[in-house]
Amino acid sequence: MAGPGRYSGGIPGPVTNTPVASLLKCDRFYRQMQFVVQSHRVGGVAVIHCEGRLVVSDAVRALQEEVEKHSLETKNYVLDLGAVSYLDSGALGALVRLVGTLRAYRGDLKLCQVSPFVQNILRATNLHGVFCIHDTEKDALADFARRPVPVEPQAWSSNTRVLCIDPSSDLLAYMAVVLNRAGFEVKTTRYLADASTLLCAMKPRVIVCGPGVESSSPAFEKFHHLDPHVQFLLLPADFYTLDASDAGLDLVSRVNELLQAQA
């Protein structure tokens, strides 16, 4: 009797359904898409190795959970980004926010072995000065033994004031640091009610509304008419997931265009 997938002569017949091949294909696709994070301690520093696509949602959550594993013992971290193949704007915002949080607690986050892809993003968005970047893990660890260099406060012009609104703290951190590095004075808020207060207090030239802002709501319509002179920039729904360098360059360019239109 012929077995499944065989002719009666016992010669393997044509395979019409290949669930194993499909599974292997899916597995390869999953490995390309997944984000792997591992960590270990070296003295008083936690070293975290990242591999894959560092994107908003699951990958960022995995990184945050890895950071929290060591948060009771240390506020000093080294992040190895040598195997990171993609970084979106939301994930870069999460890194910026993490740096700010750690430094507020007298800790720090230093990057090492940064992949060419991530290096290009940091250069394109002018964020290479926000992070301490080292070629090797050893150099990053040694940097924690050195005394920090004080940062001079930046002088702002009233013509560069920008207010950013979005429910996502990570995205706000990303927008703020990108615009700061481009020479803008930036305030951020997650709530429309607070934005109304900031609008009156800081008198921004441009208001940037992230994808999470409900621009069709009555509350936003009322907010939109509080100051007829301010320019509004509504970001697209996919701004979270755009390539971080493309998103940053587009954000700065569009804010500049609005300011030039006012001149």
pLDDT score recorded for residue 148: 62
Q: What mean pLDDT do residues 193-201 have?
A: 93
Return mean pLDDT, the chain: 85
d(CA 12, CA 16): 12
The pTM for the full model equals 0.77
**Can you name the residues that pair with 189 across neighbouring β-strands?**
165
- From first CA to last CA, the distance across the chain in angstroms is 86
The owner of tokens 């792997």 is 36
Residue 226 pLDDT more than 60?
yes
Domains of the chain (ranges; CATH) run: 32-143 (3.30.750.24), 158-262 (3.40.50.2300)
For residue 8, what pLDDT is reported? 38
- pLDDT (average), residues 219-239: 93
What are residue 51's DSSP bridge partners?
A: 36, 83
What's the CA gap between 183 and 1, in Å, rounded?
A: 79
- Rounded average pLDDT over 2-22: 43
C-beta of residue 147 within 8 angstroms of C-beta of residue 159: no
Question: Which of 226, 219, 182, 234 lies closest to 204 in space, CA to CA?
Answer: 226
Tens digit of pLDDT for each residue in 18-52? Answer: 454 444 444 433 444 589 999 999 999 999 999 99
More reliable by pLDDT, 57 or 70: 70
The answer to whether 77 and 110 are in contact (CB under 8 A) is: yes
Query: The tokens 């594993």 sit on which residue?
Result: 69
Predicted confidence (pLDDT) per residue in 85-130, tens digit: 999 999 999 999 999 999 989 999 999 999 999 999 999 998 988 9
Looking at per-residue confidence, does 104 or 81 come out higher? 81
Residue 221 has pLDDT above 50, yes or no: yes
